[in-house]
Amino acid sequence: MKNKTRNGLKAAVIASCLLGMGLAMSQARAAGDDEMSGIHAGDVLVRLRAISIIPNVSTSNTLSALNVGVNNAIVPELDLTYMIRDYLGVELILGTSRHQLTSSLGNLGGVNVLPPTLLLQYHFNHQGRIRPYLGAGVNYTYFYNNGLNVGGQPISITNHSFGPALQAGVDVQVTKSLFVNADIKKIWMRTDASLGGAALGRLDIDPVVVGLGVGMRF
């Protein structure tokens, strides 16, 4: 519970810093040089990020008794944003990661996670070079390539999960088409585990995802 609270506070601080940095910098600079700055309705933004996935785990029943945890992962992420208004965009986030599960019995093996996420974004200062944004949407998670086991006996998990997602970030235009990006997301995802038909409990992963990357405007 302490780790969950600490991760939540960490996420809030990072999000505040991202937005504060973006808003402060956008106010500090004039939004001149229209040739290089700004986004508009109809633009497509493509970003490639390196992301750190930090699970904020909670469990129930036997999983709690075994002190089950989920390790962090660093992977690439691709996202596509279509601007439906000058200040409003729809973003689809694509990426996959593999996570190892730990417990008081030792390593329980690994499982792959595919969490496509759809977000509606509001872009502040859309005409400027420095553009903070906020997003909210829905996440669908597919668990696959399940290698979880206890003593050689496979652990079964539910393969699908739906949950909300929140986002904060900032784009900084470098050239007419190229920009750099910093981003943080909170995603809610969970699965139920069983062993030999007996329920082990629910595993809430609920990661914070911190990313840095580059993007192109088309």
Looking at the 3D structure of the chain, how many domains does it have? 1
Tell me which residue of 167, 70, 57, 53 sits closest to 110, measured CA to CA.
70
Tokens at residue 169, please?
């970030």
188: domain CATH number?
Answer: 2.40.160.20
Q: What is the extent of the structural domain holding 29?
A: 2-217
Q: Are the C-beta atoms of 92 and 77 separated by less than 8 Å?
A: no
CA 127, CA 110: separation in Å to the nearest integer? 45
Which pLDDT score, from 0 to 100, does residue 37 have? 74
Any bridge partners for residue 144, and if so which? Answer: 112
Which pLDDT score, from 0 to 100, does residue 28 have? 44
Report if pTM > 0.75: yes
Q: Tell me, what DSSP letter sits at residue 60? A: -
Widest CA span in the chain: 65
pLDDT tens, position by position, for the chain (218 residues)? Answer: 545 545 555 555 555 555 555 554 544 444 444 456 789 999 999 999 999 999 999 999 999 999 999 999 999 999 999 999 999 999 999 999 999 999 999 999 999 999 999 999 999 999 999 999 999 999 999 999 999 999 889 999 999 999 999 999 999 999 999 999 999 999 999 999 999 989 999 999 999 999 999 999 99
